Structure 1
């Protein structure tokens, strides 16, 4: 059901995806319980579809729950926890809560740099997200600085890829 929901989302059939994801979440909660990794994943998937449907308050509620559960079950520095932080930051941006998004994005970038390294694709994505939030907040110089760093790191990665 989850795979079919993903395919529906990829095709822009968000209402069909929503229907399936709600069923998956309900089933997982009944079978596995509220804190099982599959249940938490289903919550995150449903939150993503809510965002696709511009139902941001529902997405926000679920993303906040997902982050709290990830922190409790996995700890603050685990990669799935960082993904939950990034997803919540994105939802904060969608509802205009840029300061809240900024706070999370700064943490995600710092932790991904430490855990994954400066040139990992997830770290680079975090830099781009943070730069976007800086722009949303009118902090254009900080956005420019990050975007220039990002471009330099991407060029460095491309150069290293050609040598191998």
Structure 2
């Protein structure tokens, strides 16, 4: 992964920390470097160098591990299928199996991670070579994040494997290269989606540091800060997360206005954090204000609108002061939102799975409130 910690003692490193002359493995200082050399680095230093030096070597290793996990996770769905890109069941070069990566129907929903990565790489390279406009380049860059046919975002182990594929493709570019910094973002998102939050935080911190050092746009910095806050939240550091999320929301309001999709997403993140921190009244107040805006601007079936309903329902029934009507409202919200999510995104999508996880809890809370106690 991005080498932000000392290989010997795991202490956080600055971007210009000293490194091994041959393989570029980074260390705190010469003492750590000599200690690591004696503890085994001497035996693998040449191998790492031949593999493209430390960053490339570890990215290739992690990529292969992530692909194996993704193929295993999709094995039941991909049995008897072929890749819609190369038309083979087993990749001719890497010998990897297939993954089920999106909501495409028929044979179009199956591919090799290597084929998806090569397709995304070629499309962006063509855009750069032909000096196509920034809008076109951004659209092609999205092929690292979503299916080019149904446009659904990749998720789970497939997203993680593509994150490593993206990072190993562009890590050799100069540190101030915008595409290299964007590759960090793709990797951080992939790690977060499989629960590797400590690693994701390390990558996101490196991305934020590089973005600030090299003058990347305010828009991108806001995105990175939002990702860091969500990672803090996943690690249970809710106050740290809320502080950043509020800053991000204010920044989005200034940059985009209250009706922009990014602003609404930032507001969702704030509300979700408030629910996790058990500040339910504040969460409900925020969502009630934003819900009409999301429905008007994005529509009922948009992922942001559905996420907002999921957050609102959680704030309703989890509140210790919730009335019976509040809990019934939460169950109704979740049942309706779950039907829409299943129809639009399918049963394997994280949003639908979130509904599945929350609905039984809300129903249990309703049954507990409706059932008279034994003493009564």
TM bracket (short chain): 0.7 to 0.9
The structure carrying a bigger helix percent of its residues is 1
Q: Which stretch has the larger CA shift, 60-69 or 98-107? A: 98-107
**Inter-partner Cα distance in structure 1 for 2:264 and 2:277:** 20
Q: Which of 1 and 2 has higher RCO (CA within 8 Å, sep 6+)?
A: 1
Q: Which stretch has the larger CA shift, 149-158 or 95-104? A: 149-158
Q: What's the offset of the Cα at 1:12?
A: 2.3
Please report the TM-score for the alignment, with normalisation by the length of structure 2: 0.39
Superposition map of 1:1-164 within 5 A: 1-32=184-215, 36-137=218-319, 138-148=322-332, 151-152=335-336, 155=339
Q: What's the offset of the Cα at 1:71?
A: 0.5
**Inter-partner Cα distance in structure 2 for 1:64 and 1:29:** 20
Decide which structure has the larger Cα Rg and report it: 2
Q: What's the offset of the Cα at 1:104?
A: 1.4
Counterparts in 2 of 1:86 and 1:12: CA distance versus 1, 3 Å = same
Counterparts in 2 of 1:100 and 1:32: CA distance versus 1, 3 Å = farther
Gaps of 5+ in 1: none
Counterparts in 2 of 1:139 and 1:32: CA distance versus 1, 3 Å = farther
**Inter-partner Cα distance in structure 1 for 2:324 and 2:333:** 14
Counterparts in 2 of 1:32 and 1:147: CA distance versus 1, 3 Å = farther
Please report the TM-score for the alignment, with normalisation by the length of structure 1: 0.83
Q: What's the offset of the Cα at 1:32?
A: 2.9
Q: What's the offset of the Cα at 1:78?
A: 0.9
Q: Which stretch has the larger CA shift, 116-125 or 96-105? A: 116-125
Aligned-pair RMSD on alpha carbons?
2.5
**Inter-partner Cα distance in structure 2 for 1:97 and 1:54:** 15
Aligned residues: 159
Q: What's the offset of the Cα at 1:154?
A: 5.6
Gaps of 5+ in 2: 1-183, 345-376
**Inter-partner Cα distance in structure 2 for 1:82 and 1:132:** 18
**Inter-partner Cα distance in structure 2 for 1:44 and 1:80:** 10
Counterparts in 2 of 1:30 and 1:103: CA distance versus 1, 3 Å = farther
**Inter-partner Cα distance in structure 2 for 1:57 and 1:156:** 33
